[in-house]
Amino acid sequence: MGTKERHERDRHRIRQGILDAARELFIAEGYQQVSMRKIADRIEYSPAAIYSYFPRKDDIFFALAAEGFRILADGVSAVVAGVEDPLERLRRGLWAFYQFSKSNPEYFALMFLDRSVPSLSQDFERFEFFQTITARATADVQACMDRGQFSRKLDPAAALHVLWAGVLGAATIGLAQRLAPGEDADALAHDVLESLLAGFTTNLGTTFVAADCALMSEPVAVRERQNHA
Amino acid sequence: MGTKERHERDRHRIRQGILDAARELFIAEGYQQVSMRKIADRIEYSPAAIYSYFPRKDDIFFALAAEGFRILADGVSAVVAGVEDPLERLRRGLWAFYQFSKSNPEYFALMFLDRSVPSLSQDFERFEFFQTITARATADVQACMDRGQFSRKLDPAAALHVLWAGVLGAATIGLAQRLAPGEDADALAHDVLESLLAGFTTNLGTTFVAADCALMSEPVAVRERQNHA
DNA sequence: TTAGAAAGTGAACGGTGTTCAACTTATAAT
DNA sequence: ATTATAAGTTGAACACCGTTCACTTTCTAA
């Protein structure tokens, strides 16, 4: 009979309980404040019990990041759905990305900023996120090129990365509160996005390969003179 | 007699020793790995002794971040020195910023990414960095506008923030290794920078105020349905 | 020489991630 | 129904962490 199945269901239920507790702490107080003991308190288990569900604390955050990618992908999809113009689709999708950084700052930081969960770098869920979202977005860039809204010299995948990096930077600044007081993070994100899109209409020979990159590479000598007056 | 002065010198010397030890650990192993006890071991004092020089651990990182801003400002200044063309000055300065993120990743993360040292948000040294560097860079943007290299509709300060955000985003992606394998962070940074500069030549009505920002603001509903199959 | 301040320390507090021998519980086989 | 075995859970411990504080040492100034 289905005792095995019941067992599996129970395990899954507890696993979800751990994730739920972790997520609540994580969203409310941030990555640093989530501890195994706090999670254990919340689910009324001992801290050691968690380790049979998640061998390392990082694995919990890996799972949360996977959730984050799903949430982001859903959000972007929802915003883009039904919009015909590819340029407008790009605009809205990227703006949804920025909005995600505002409404889910902890998720955003975990997914794109934080380097203390190294397993995230070769993420699996991120790969799925890339599949569903970037494939569509790359096609949109291509469509913009075909329609003459973008320069035909662009590499669509590279161009998308550029847009992504720009919005990521604006979101990061907004999040880290590294703006002078009075600056508006929304305006910054908007301007970055529009500037990049405007740049893509230009066909003034941007190569989008690392071609003339070497010319700029003369690295800045910074490691010296760390002691000042 | 100068016993008072000697005392002050001694205190300064030990203070520097603490910073040196912290910096070595910090550069070699990252923010997370620096502990008061490790610093104390290195300078052969007890952990408690540090607290009379730096009341909180954060204060050490605040001081390190101040160093970082000095190093960055010097690096950018050195690269920009002697270059006449304002556009080229911007290009080189921003590229130096990107290079800084590669050669001093821990400094970069501490200064621009990390949110766990909240005192950094209202930094004093950062203010000086803004004074020296952004004043000059803003003037360069203005010069580019005057020469017709940039659209005359730009707000120079806002435009500089946009450039900064773009490069920051590319640097962040390079640092967090959130790129698909095979992608080149240098090429990305280069492309972001050139795309933005290209966008600034366009005068297709980018307002650079949060004006039409509201139109895009329809926030993405993401907080629901966090449980999937 | 001595009073007093300054500097430095050891031990502790409450926290962290993680491990492991032991204990309890529930299943499966006899 | 009893027992052997597996699964699940736990308390205690280990080695860390930032920080505090009573105490000792060291040095200066009177």
pLDDT tens-digit readout, A122-143? 777 777 777 889 999 999 999 9
CB B171 within 8 A of CB B120: no
Q: Mention every residue, 6+ apart, whose C-beta is less than 8 A from residue A156.
A: A138, A139, A141, A142, A145
Residue B152 CA, distance from chain mean position: 28
The gap between A8 CA and C28 C1' (Å) is 18
Q: Which long-range contacts (CB under 8 A, 24 or more apart) does A50-55 make?
A: A50/A18, A53/A11, A53/A14, A53/A15, A53/A18, A54/A15, A54/A18
pLDDT at A144: 96
- Residue of A76, A180, A192 with shortest CB distance to B162: A192
Task: Name the stretches of chain B with pLDDT < 50.
Answer: 205-229
pLDDT at B132: 85
Using CA atoms, how far apart are residues B22 and B26, in angstroms rounded to an integer? Answer: 6
- Helix pair A57-80, A3-29: axis angle to 10 deg: 80
- Chain B, window 145-164: residues with a beta carbon less than 8 angstroms from a chain A beta carbon: 158-159, 161-162, 164
pLDDT at B190: 93
Element (H, E) at B158: helix B156-176
Average pLDDT over residues A26-38: 94
CB B154 within 8 A of CB B98: no
- Residue of B91, B103, B204 with shortest CB distance to A220: B103
CB A209 within 8 A of CB A157: no
Which residue is listed with tokens 């790995």?
B33
pLDDT at B2: 66
pLDDT at A212: 46
pLDDT at A150: 93
Indicate the pTM of the whole model: 0.89
All residues of chain A having their beta carbon less than 8 Å from the beta carbon of residue B159 are: 191, 195
